[in-house]
Amino acid sequence: MAKETQKLKVAMVGGGNESFMGRIHRAAIEATGCLELVCGAFGSTRQRSFETGKALGLDPKRVYGVYRDMFRREGKATGPDRPDFVTVLAPNNMHYPVTMAAFDAGFPVFSEKPMSCNMDEAQNLKRRTLMSHELYVSAYVFPFYPALCQLRDAVLQGKIGNLRRVDARYYHGWMGIRLEASGNRSAGWRTDPRRCGAAGAVYDLAGPCAFLAEWATGLEIAALCAVGRPAVPGRILDDDATVLLRFGNGALGTIAVSQIALGEADGIQLSVYGDKGAVHWRQCAANVWTLVTPDGSRTETVVKKAPVPKPGPGRFGEPYGDDATYVAALTEAYADFARFVVADRAGEPYETRCIGVDPALRVATFNDLAARSINPGTDDPTAKWLDFEVPKVELLA
């Protein structure tokens, strides 16, 4: 446990100067007090990467034009300067290859979501963790919101009875105009099938909602039916979508997501309804959760130790995330992963709250099914109900 009092070293892939999530993750890494960013391959071009490294004051010798160069050199390092893990902030299509390359170089991985753009890659990543001892977590930070954890405990303890309905809504307005045409990089990759995947708003927003719905209720999605479209002319991928859900216990639900809901910037809203009451949570007021009884009385519980969020400004140009409560949750996720890495290195057990490969594979399955439901084929353009079955991943013979 020699590194308990020494900051763990972090290598970053993606998250350049123009990256919205890059500065959010760096703020969280710094706020942990136990992590230090020491190297990175930050951009889609060498120039962008080196400009970011210079702006961050990093050693120029540890700033790389491409991530494979970084893994080749940093993977050979020994002693206290060697990175302890890699954080992956590149666009969706790069999550899988960067993660696998990091594993090859001997690094644990903290990756932005989703784990991959397609099911073949997602299953192969899962298979890799079965073949060898690899630490992998995905950046779903819901378990690090204290109020949301209290809501989940109430649901799992039966305080609202048998669950009947689960609804999640995630509306953005920042892509309500065609920002990608004017060079906005965050909008650019989210509207590009090569970098985002087979769906737009579904991969960007509905996947996290699917994870939240299952995690907060203990229910598993049994089937889904999705409809979506590109509302902004000139786009290929959906920027507005609705997914109907059927859970294993028979409960119904919806996931409604939009990147073009003008004026919206308040993150996820979750409502869970049972036969004895209901619970509600909003990401824009993430330190509060509400219990509603059948007679309509409402009890709001405020978690005072959590940061108080500021109201969303309905901004254009950037997604949700530049919020004190989100950064605090991401900070806790990084700190928890750091403890996981230290414990694993020492051969000690540690029950991390971070989201590992199995829940991430469920989200990848959800994304794949929702995209297939939206785009069932030219022979039948209508949305379809599809059974939710996570592929069984086994080692190859």
pLDDT tens digits, 352-377: 999 999 999 999 999 999 999 998 65
Contact 115, 368 (CB under 8 A): no
Asked whether residue 119 falls in the same domain as residue 239, the answer is: no
102 pLDDT higher than 50: yes
Asked which of 293, 315, 337 is the last residue of a domain, the reply is 315
Asked whether residue 18 falls in the same domain as residue 151, the answer is: no
Asked whether residue 158 falls in the same domain as residue 74, the answer is: no
**What is the rounded average pLDDT of the residues 224-239?**
96
Eight-state DSSP code of residue 248: T
pLDDT at 1: 38
Contact 273, 164 (CB under 8 A): yes
3 pLDDT higher than 50: no
Segments forming the whole domain that contains residue 47: 2-141+325-357
Which tokens hold the place of 1? 């446990």
Give the Cα separation of 188 and 179 in Å (integer): 8
**Per-residue pLDDT tens digits for 126-157:** 999 999 999 999 999 999 999 999 999 999 99
Please give the model's pTM, rounded to 2 decimal places.
0.94
Phi, psi angle pair for 189, to nearest 5° = -75, -25
pLDDT at 266: 86
| Choice among 63-72, 212-221, 386-395 with the minimum mean pLDDT | 386-395
> Does residue 171 lie in a domain region?
yes
pLDDT at 220: 98
Which tokens hold the place of 314? 């309905």
pLDDT at 2: 41
**What is the rounded average pLDDT of the residues 167-178?**
95
Asked whether residue 299 falls in the same domain as residue 150, the answer is: yes
pLDDT range class, residue 265, cuts 50, 70, 90: confident
**What is the rounded average pLDDT of the residues 25-45?**
96
User: Could you count the other beta carbons within 10 Å of the beta carbon of residue 341?
Assistant: 21
312 pLDDT higher than 50: yes
Q: Which of 73, 1, 9 is nearest to 35 (CA)?
A: 9
**Per-residue pLDDT tens digits for 319-335:** 777 788 999 999 999 99
**What is the rounded average pLDDT of the residues 314-320?**
67
Which tokens hold the place of 85? 């893990």
Asked whether residue 130 falls in the same domain as residue 152, the answer is: no
pLDDT range class, residue 310, cuts 50, 70, 90: low
Asked whether residue 177 falls in the same domain as residue 306, the answer is: yes
CATH number at residue 47: 3.40.50.720
Give the Cα separation of 168 and 205 in Å (integer): 10
Asked whether residue 197 falls in the same domain as residue 339, the answer is: no
396 pLDDT higher than 90: no
314 pLDDT higher than 70: no
Asked whether residue 60 falls in the same domain as residue 133, the answer is: yes
pLDDT at 379: 57
> Does residue 393 lie in a domain region?
no
Contact 24, 1 (CB under 8 A): no
User: Residue 97 burial (CB < 10 Å; 0-12/13-18/19+)?
Assistant: middle
Q: What share of the chain is helix, strand, coil (3-state, %, to 5)?
A: 40, 20, 40
Asked whether residue 24 falls in the same domain as residue 66, the answer is: yes
> Does residue 310 lie in a domain region?
yes
**Per-residue pLDDT tens digits for 177-195:** 999 999 888 899 999 999 9
Q: Is 13 helix (H, G, I), strand (E, B) or coil?
A: strand
Asked whether residue 270 falls in the same domain as residue 298, the answer is: yes
380 pLDDT higher than 90: no
pLDDT at 19: 87
The dihedral sign for the CA sequence 64, 38, 361, 371: negative
317 pLDDT higher than 70: no
Whether residue 208 is preceded by a cis peptide bond, meaning omega within 30 degrees of 0, is: no
The dihedral sign for the CA sequence 135, 111, 351, 213: negative
Asked whether residue 74 falls in the same domain as residue 210, the answer is: no
Asked which of 284, 315, 346 is the last residue of a domain, the reply is 315
Amino acid at 159: K
How much is the mean pLDDT over the chain?
Answer: 93
CATH number at residue 272: 3.30.360.10
> Does residue 100 lie in a domain region?
yes
Which tokens hold the place of 188? 């650019």
Higher pLDDT among residues 303 and 322, named by residue = 303
Asked whether residue 155 falls in the same domain as residue 304, the answer is: yes
Q: What percent of the chain has pLDDT over 70?
A: 94
Give the Cα separation of 71 and 74 in Å (integer): 5
> Does residue 371 lie in a domain region?
no
Give first-to-last CA distance, the chain, whole Å: 38
Total of domains in the chain? 2
| Choice among 17-31, 139-153, 244-258, 329-343 with the minimum mean pLDDT | 17-31
pLDDT at 311: 59
The dihedral sign for the CA sequence 342, 346, 348, 349: positive
Q: Which of 359, 174, 157 is nearest to 266 (CA)?
A: 174
260 pLDDT higher than 60: yes
**What is the rounded average pLDDT of the residues 24-31?**
96
Axis crossing angle, helix 357-374 with helix 119-131, rounded to the nearest 10? 170
Contact 371, 71 (CB under 8 A): no
Higher pLDDT among residues 161 and 319, named by residue = 161
290 pLDDT higher than 80: yes
> Does residue 158 lie in a domain region?
yes
